[in-house]
């Protein structure tokens, strides 16, 4: 067994839960909705609280140019070792829950806090990070802080990003006091581990407390525009119709058929749609909709994209419509570090917790960090899979269990 | 053969076309778009022109309480006979073409004009009517003037109708000087004949100049609301989805399958749709769309409505969604008078014109008048079936041919 279970260490569950609720009370708007958009006043309130706790824990606090916050526990003998990095984000969507991101950051802090208090001697620095603008609601792209940190986007370009409210990210970070001086990437992690609520229903429905996240779905977003001919719904015989709305419906049912045929690896969603002219008695001349395709395997994701393109070609002929597509987003799937994933499984098992290997269906900072170091994620159940919503909920016992699994993995990776 | 072809009468095509263009130039808005919404200033301009022409033709002009305009040619010996009524409407949609409705009214006037000039002696009065608010854009319901005339709605109730601009129809009719004193229905027609552009593609595509319209489709409009569960597009496995958008797409493709299976009698259209929350990466929790179902046979229309209701029940179970429907509009099919339809065919044939029996896919004042007297319609081709659009177009030769067929039928029904 690994060291910590031998030492029988556990986190201070009361402190973790208390902090989670306290952070959750920052950024409430006039309607009492929790909204800490990146670099807003609400975000500043959350950041200030986090930095206070990091300092109380005796961590060295560093802010980089994109506003990522790091609290680092340097030991006297380990300054030359690559640090083990834990973390996530504390920015939120509009009217958010209190677990998404915050749980990972505060658990990382709690793990360090507990290890320090219990006299654990780390063989390498252990740090906890809160990445700027993971949600991407106010500034694009999402997962910005970790993307910049991993070298996928320059800090200068990211700081020029114009918000939905017309603000400039760089100016807003200055304003709230989080435009740091460190170069993004200044810490070269030995490994990165992100603990997160699942934001999906699998663990909850299967009653499994721990997900050992082995990969993260690739994401392909397309906007599809189908152009037919607007005609009178009563006077146009069926065989003379060029119905853009019908063609769109055929794409939606096709995508479900493909998802069903994939044995659960591919998921496909049409979440937005618009018809024009959108009148009860006029055949739609235009249908515009989005396709969100995901698969954890790049080869399969490419095959699905190609199959869709072929289907659209056939459909354009059979329905006498013209179809154009535009790629909106494309992320390759990410495979996490198998060694760490196994450690997560072992840690869960060591605590008598069931776990299952799983795929992350959502994007996370971990997918960016995987570019620069061995990375993995730990999931805990989200009741009914609800997230990005005040109803987001994870039971305290699951929160504590997940943080203890993180502690075990950390003490393994940073222990003797 | 009937009398007029023996007399070799024809309409004055130059006068008909000139008036069509002149009426078409009334009601142009600041963008030069033709918009004569019921009881608007544009409508008044059109009405004034029509009344002027009626008076020039020596007709007795009468306005009823709902603003319907009638120009009546009474002969010295025929005042006690039931009049033959021709007509349609001159109100338009927004940014309309110049043929819809106007062609029928002005052809009716032209037929009377020509018969009078040529010394035709009618055995019964011949009248031409322009019904108020056929389009139903500003005030609901559409086909209002003929509905009131046929006794389907009281004039008092109709006049209280509140417009999309907050106006009251009764007040607006007063304002433009067309709140008449005659009781709707004051003329009890011997028969009603409406000449109209097809507003569909059949005659144009088949290159047939005359449609002998034997019936008019029944119309069933429903709004269908499907409620599923909004969930994350990446983290929700396919088998745990309750996707309202997918269920809506299944209904759309089902309706096309039903229309295809009907051998062309049933047409089905989904012209409007909305998803909520309408986000790329969120499974739709709500899909709202409309269904426009039409069939010229009431029995078949009922069967289609029932089949759809059964399909929705099965779908609610298979997709784990809840579905509600709301009937928005329901008109029974109308069967026109077979004797007049045959006269139309004979008149076309007498002029060496091909004709075909057909169904009206659109609603017309004739469907209301059919409640109170033998009724039929004559269609002429609409290029590409385009209507309710400035591109609406019928060739002059087809316009003249249709008006001559009307003249022949009129001289048959009101001749010796």
pLDDT digits 0-9 by tens, B114-155: 999 999 999 999 999 999 999 999 999 999 999 999 999 999
| Number of Cβ within a 10 Å radius of residue B168 | 16
With beta carbons less than 8 A apart as the criterion, state whether A90 and A48 touch. Answer: no
Q: What is the 3-state secondary structure (H, E, C) of A255-272?
A: HHHHHHHCCCCCEEECCC
Q: ipTM of this predicted complex? A: 0.87
Tokens of B299: 């029995």
Q: What is the pLDDT of residue A2?
A: 47
Cα torsion A293, A299, A303, A306: sign: positive
What integer is the mean pLDDT of A320-342?
Answer: 96
Phi, psi of B96 (to 5 degrees): -90, 170
Helix, coil or strand: residue A183: coil
Q: What is the pLDDT of residue B416?
A: 79
Give the separation between CA A369 and CA A134, rounded to whole angstroms. Answer: 13
Interchain proximity B269–A283, CB inside 8 Å? yes
Residue B241: which residues within 8 A CB-CB, separation 6 or more?
B228, B229, B231, B283
Helix, coil or strand: residue B181: coil
Tokens of A207: 């009653």
For B69, what's the count of Cα atoms within 13 Å in the CB-facing half-sphere? 32
Whether the predicted model's global pTM rises above the 0.80 cut: yes
Q: What is the pLDDT of residue B250?
A: 98
Residue A195: which residues within 8 A CB-CB, separation 6 or more?
A86, A88, A103, A104, A107, A108, A377, A378, A380, A402, A403, A405, A406
Which residues make beta-bridge pairs with A72? A60, A127
C-alpha angle with apex A118: A116 to A121, nearest 5 degrees? 60
> Across the interface, which of B232, B239, B252 has its CB nearest the CB of A361?
B232
Tokens of A62: 């560093």
In angstroms, what separates the C-alpha of B371 from chain A's closest C-alpha?
21
| Number of Cβ within a 10 Å radius of residue A1 | 10
Tokens of A237: 């015989």
Q: Is B1 on the interface with A (CB under 8 A)?
A: no
Interchain proximity B238–A282, CB inside 8 Å? no
User: Scanning the structure block, which residue is given the tokens 């853009």?
Assistant: A244
With beta carbons less than 8 A apart as the criterion, state whether B242 and B286 touch. Answer: no
With beta carbons less than 8 A apart as the criterion, state whether B227 and B319 touch. Answer: no
Q: Which of B94, B135, B206, B235 to mutate to test the interface with A (most CBs of A within 10 A)?
A: B235
C-alpha angle with apex A381: B239 to B228, nearest 5 degrees? 40
> Across the interface, which of A232, A239, A269 has its CB nearest the CB of B281?
A269
Contacts of A199 in chain B (CB under 8 A): 232, 235
Residue in chain B closest to A260 (alpha carbons) equals: B238
Strand intervals (E) in B51-167: 60-63, 69-73, 84-88, 126-130
pLDDT at A218 over 60: yes
> Across the interface, which of A217, A271, A282 has its CB nearest the CB of B271?
A282
Q: What is the pLDDT of residue A31?
A: 87
Strand intervals (E) in B115-237: 126-130, 191-197, 210-216, 218-227
In angstroms, what separates the C-alpha of B129 from chain A's closest C-alpha?
24
Q: Supply the mean pLDDT for chain B.
A: 96
Q: Please give the share of chain A, as a percent, with pLDDT higher than 90.
A: 94
Give the separation between CA A381 and CA A113, rounded to whole angstroms. Answer: 24
- A19-77 pLDDT per residue, tens: 999 999 999 988 889 999 999 999 999 999 999 999 999 999 999 999 999 999 999 88
Q: What is the pLDDT of residue A4?
A: 46
DSSP assignment letter at A83:
P
Q: Is A119 on the interface with B (CB under 8 A)?
A: no
* CB within 8 Å of chain A, chain B residues 364-403: 385-388
> Across the interface, which of A232, A245, A387 has its CB nearest the CB of B273?
A245
Helix, coil or strand: residue B98: coil
The H or E element containing residue A108 is helix A102-117
* CB within 8 Å of chain A, chain B residues 255-314: 256, 259-260, 264, 267, 269-275, 277-284, 290, 292, 294
- A64-76 pLDDT per residue, tens: 999 999 999 999 8
- A237-260 pLDDT per residue, tens: 999 999 999 999 999 999 999 999
In angstroms, what separates the C-alpha of A190 from chain B's closest C-alpha?
28
Q: Please give the share of chain B, as a percent, with pLDDT higher than 70.
A: 98
Give the separation between CA B124 and CA B130, rounded to whole angstroms. Answer: 20
Q: Which of A142, A242, A280 to mutate to test the interface with B (most CBs of B within 10 A)?
A: A280
- Among residues B127, B194, B191, B112, which one has the least CA distance to residue B380? B194
Q: Which of A244, A269, A292 to mutate to test the interface with B (most CBs of B within 10 A)?
A: A269
- pLDDT band of residue B273 (cuts 50, 70, 90) is very high
- A143-153 pLDDT per residue, tens: 999 999 999 99
Give the separation between CA B334 and CA B323, rounded to whole angstroms. Answer: 31
pLDDT at A282 over 60: yes
Q: Which of B233, B282, B292, B319 to mutate to test the interface with A (most CBs of A within 10 A)?
A: B233
Contacts of B215 in chain A (CB under 8 A): none
What integer is the mean pLDDT of A83-112?
Answer: 97
- A345-377 pLDDT per residue, tens: 999 999 999 999 999 999 999 999 999 999 999
Give the separation between CA A79 and CA A94, rounded to whole angstroms. Answer: 40
Contacts of B253 in chain A (CB under 8 A): 246, 249-250, 253
Contacts of A281 in chain B (CB under 8 A): 221, 269, 271, 292
Q: Is A199 on the interface with B (CB under 8 A)?
A: yes
What integer is the mean pLDDT of B270-281?
Answer: 95
Q: What is the pLDDT of residue A7?
A: 61
Q: Over the range B10-24, which residues count as b (16 or more CB within 10 Å of their CB) and which as e?
A: bbbbeebbebbeebb
pLDDT at B5 over 50: no
Residue in chain A closest to B360 (alpha carbons) equals: A235
pLDDT at B257 over 80: yes
Lowest mean pLDDT among A88-92, B174-178, B185-189, B278-282: B278-282
> Across the interface, which of A249, A280, A362 has its CB nearest the CB of B252?
A249
What integer is the mean pLDDT of A316-324?
Answer: 98
The H or E element containing residue A51 is helix A41-56
Higher pLDDT, A264 or B126: B126
What integer is the mean pLDDT of B389-400?
Answer: 96
Phi, psi of B330 (to 5 degrees): -150, 110
User: Scanning the structure block, which residue is given the tokens 């309480």?
Assistant: B65
Q: What Rg do the C-alpha atoms of chain A give, in angstroms?
A: 24
- B292-313 pLDDT per residue, tens: 999 999 999 999 999 999 999 9
Tokens of A165: 């409210």
Give the separation between CA B378 and CA B213, rounded to whole angstroms. Answer: 6
Q: Over the range B235-267, which residues count as b (16 or more CB within 10 Å of their CB) and which as e?
A: bbbbebbbbbbbbbbbbbbbbbebbeebeebbb
With beta carbons less than 8 A apart as the criterion, state whether B242 and B390 touch. Answer: no
DSSP assignment letter at B76:
T
Residue A293: which residues within 8 A CB-CB, separation 6 or more?
A219, A220, A221, A222, A255, A266, A267, A268, A301, A304, A305, A308
* CB within 8 Å of chain A, chain B residues 203-262: 205, 217, 219, 221, 231-240, 243, 245-246, 248-250, 252-253, 256, 259-260
Which residues make beta-bridge pairs with B191? B84
Give the separation between CA B71 and CA B343, rounded to whole angstroms. Answer: 24
Helix, coil or strand: residue A297: coil
A:B CB pairs within 8 Å: 202
Give the separation between CA B182 and CA B13, rounded to whole angstroms. Answer: 32
With beta carbons less than 8 A apart as the criterion, state whether B72 and B365 touch. Answer: no
């Amino acid at each position: 067994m690994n060291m910590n279970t031998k030492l029988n260490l556990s986190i201070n569950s009361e402190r973790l839960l208390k902090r989670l609720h306290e952070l959750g009370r920052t950024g409430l708007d006039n309607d009492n909705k929790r909204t800490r958009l990146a670099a807003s006043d609400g975000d500043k309130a959350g950041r200030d609280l986090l930095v206070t706790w990091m300092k109380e824990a005796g961590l060295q606090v560093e802010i980089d140019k994109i506003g990522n916050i790091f609290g680092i526990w340097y030991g006297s003998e380990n300054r030359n070792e690559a640090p083990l990095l834990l973390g996530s984000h504390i920015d939120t969507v509009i009217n958010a829950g209190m677990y998404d991101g915050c749980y990972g950051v505060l658990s990382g802090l709690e793990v360090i806090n507990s290890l320090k208090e219990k006299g654990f001697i780390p063989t390498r620095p252990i740090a906890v990070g809160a990445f700027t603008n993971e949600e991407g609601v106010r500034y694009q792209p999402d997962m910005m802080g970790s993307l910049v940190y991993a070298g996928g986007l320059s800090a200068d370009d990211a700081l020029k990003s114009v918000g939905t409210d017309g603000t400039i990210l760089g100016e807003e970070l200055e304003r709230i006091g989080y435009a740091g001086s460190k170069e993004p990437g200044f810490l070269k992690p030995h490994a990165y581990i992100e603990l997160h609520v699942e934001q999906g229903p699998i663990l909850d429905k299967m009653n499994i407390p721990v997900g050992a996240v082995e990969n993260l779905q690739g994401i392909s977003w397309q906007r599809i525009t189908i152009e037919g001919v607007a005609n009178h719904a009563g006077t146009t015989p069926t065989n003379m119709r060029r119905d853009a709305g019908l063609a769109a419906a055929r794409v939606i049912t096709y995508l479900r058929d493909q998802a069903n045929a994939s044995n659960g690896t591919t998921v496909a969603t049409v979440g937005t749609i618009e018809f024009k002219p959108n009148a009860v008695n006029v055949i739609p001349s235009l249908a515009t909709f989005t396709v969100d395709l995901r698969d954890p395997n790049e080869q399969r994701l490419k095959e699905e994209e190609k199959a869709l393109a072929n289907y659209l070609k056939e459909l354009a002929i059979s329905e006498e419509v013209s179809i154009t597509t535009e790629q909106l987003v494309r992320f390759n799937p990410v495979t996490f570090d198998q060694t760490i994933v196994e450690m997560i499984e072992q840690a869960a098992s060591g605590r008598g917790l069931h776990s299952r290997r799983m795929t992350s269906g959502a994007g996370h900072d971990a997918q960016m960090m995987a570019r620069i170091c061995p990375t993995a994620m730990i999931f805990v159940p989200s009741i009914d899979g609800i997230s990005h919503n005040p109803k987001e909920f994870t039971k305290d016992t699951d929160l504590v269990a997940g943080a203890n699994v993180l502690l075990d993995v950390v003490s393994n990776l940073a222990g003797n």
